Amino acid sequence: MFFFKKIPLFIAFAIFLNSSENIGSSTVELPPTREQFRESNRLEKGLTNKEKTDLKRSHSAVIDFDGQIAMRHIENLTSFGPRSPEYPRAKLSTLSYIRSQIPPSMSIQLHEFDANGLNGTNLWVSSRVEKKKSNTLIMIGTHWDTRSVADRDTDISQRNMPVLGANDGASGVAVLIEVAKHLHSKPPGVNVDLIFFDLEDLGNIGNNKYAIGSSKFVKENPKYRPTTGIIIDMVCDRDLRIPREYYSSVSAPEVLDRVWDSAERQDAKVFKNVRGGAVIDDHIPFLQVGIPVVNLIHFPFPNTWHTTNDTIKFCRSRSLSQVGRVILDFIYYYDLNQTIR
């Protein structure tokens, strides 16, 4: 991912801004997203205030996301080594590990692609309900690869070293694996896809851009049109802070509103109701074709970003737990909205 300020879409390294006026000057052009997320009366129609409150409490109370288990996934994933193109064995081990953790009730597809002489693999996991029950499709995505060089390391001698990616890569994978297990044990009433994107983090290395895997996925699956979606990235830091990412706020504000509703129900304090920076990540290719997908990402980026310090040492289970609860609440509560309207 990359923080964007008034520069072309070829994406460079992150530049941190403090001014909301500067953030607003970003120049990525995005078409309007489809109006999928209408207010839909928010469960309230026909219910008393007490019934509304009881319903919300009883629904959110069922969510118990174990951040410690997610931490173990991060430990296992980073044990394979860097997940960049230079380490094909680690990449194969990572894909095998993710597949081994997906419950049998879900289908798995591999979307393989070529880009700039590189081979990539997106892993596409699907949970489906009977067609007559719901046509809604929620996409939750993350990237599983790592950056080839630690070009933000404070130690200049380390800047050609690969990034291990405990936070930037493994944390999102860990959350999605546990989300899959929850969806298996308590199936939602809507369709859900969990997509693990490859080659997200190679921007400005050679001729590469960021978000290669998601760009290829959108281009090579033109009929894929989820109702809405969420991309999570860098979600395990001990000082996790997730504001409202700029492009998400502009192009899919209703989706963000629902995410923050979930954060409030789940008492997820890492979600900050303030405008964040403009970040190039795996949500951008979806927004560019009008699909309302938002980005949940730590901002300003943590000090470990694109450095050799991106290790599990700086991850915390409480951060993973909050993000996992919010993602599950978003899915289940959307199902509840659809059912009670």
* pLDDT string in tens for the chain (341-residue length): 665 543 333 333 333 333 333 333 334 666 554 434 333 333 344 556 555 555 555 555 548 999 999 999 999 999 999 999 999 999 999 999 999 999 999 999 999 999 999 999 999 999 999 877 789 999 999 999 999 999 999 999 999 999 999 999 999 999 999 999 999 999 999 999 999 999 999 999 999 999 999 999 999 999 999 999 999 999 999 999 999 999 999 999 999 999 999 999 999 999 999 999 999 999 999 999 999 999 999 999 999 999 999 999 999 999 999 999 999 999 999 866 654 33
Q: 2-13+64-340 belongs to which CATH class?
A: alpha beta
H/E element, 2: strand 2-3
Closest CA to 137 of 227, 35, 229: 227
57: exposed, middle or buried (Cβ count in 10 Å: 0-12, 13-18, 19+): exposed
145, 83 contact by CB (below 8 A): yes
φ, ψ dihedrals at 79, nearest 5°: -70, -20
Query: Model-level pTM?
Result: 0.86
326, 140 contact by CB (below 8 A): no
What is d(CA 294, CA 107) in angstroms, rounded to the nearest whole number?
24
Helix, coil or strand: residue 121: strand
Sign of the CA dihedral with 219 first, then 327, 78, and 311 last: positive
φ, ψ dihedrals at 208, nearest 5°: -80, 150
